[in-house]
């Protein structure tokens, strides 16, 4: 018996300790490398390396870039607003962790 409306999902496991190139990050976020460059220039994404061809990103950059791109696309927030929103979301997460840990 096969379901009529079976969806096939594809995923990619990103290891936390393996750095991502700009090409990897742009592919995982379904965007152009130029968008990633803009996020770095605005200070939204942290990277290592001097120039885009040698930039390396941590696995947390995938989540941060996806949220940033969604804010831009869905809410039409400019890059400065995206940076502020992400900083506030990070602060909320820090405060929740602190509250959860009791101090």
Q: pLDDT tens-digit profile of 14-63?
A: 556 789 999 999 999 999 999 999 999 999 999 999 999 999 999 899 99
| Residue 74: CA count within 13 A, CB half-sphere | 6
| pLDDT recorded at residue 74 | 97
What distance in Å separates the CA atoms of residue 49 and residue 2, rounded to the nearest whole number? 49
Contact 56, 20 (CB under 8 A): yes
38 phi and psi angles, rounded to 5 deg: -60, -40
Task: Report pLDDT for 13.
Answer: 57
d(CA 46, CA 95): 22
Provide φ and ψ at 97, rounded to 5°: -60, -45
What are the structural domain ranges in the chain? 22-101
Cβ proximity of 82 and 96 under 8 Å:
no
CATH for the stretch 22-101: 1.10.1660.10
For 63-91, what is each residue's pLDDT tens digit? Answer: 999 999 999 999 999 999 999 999 999 99
């Amino acid at each position: 018996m096969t379901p009529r409306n079976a969806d096939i999902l594809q995923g990619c496991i990103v290891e936390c300790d393996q750095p991502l190139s700009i090409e990897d990050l742009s592919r995982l976020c379904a965007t152009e490398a130029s968008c990633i460059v803009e996020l770095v220039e605005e200070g939204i994404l942290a990277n290592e390396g001097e120039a885009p061809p040698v930039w390396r990103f941590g696995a947390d950059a995938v989540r941060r870039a996806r949220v940033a791109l969604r804010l831009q696309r869905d809410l039409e927030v400019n890059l400065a607003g995206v940076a502020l929103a992400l900083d506030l979301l990070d602060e909320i997460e820090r405060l929740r962790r602190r509250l959860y840990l009791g101090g």
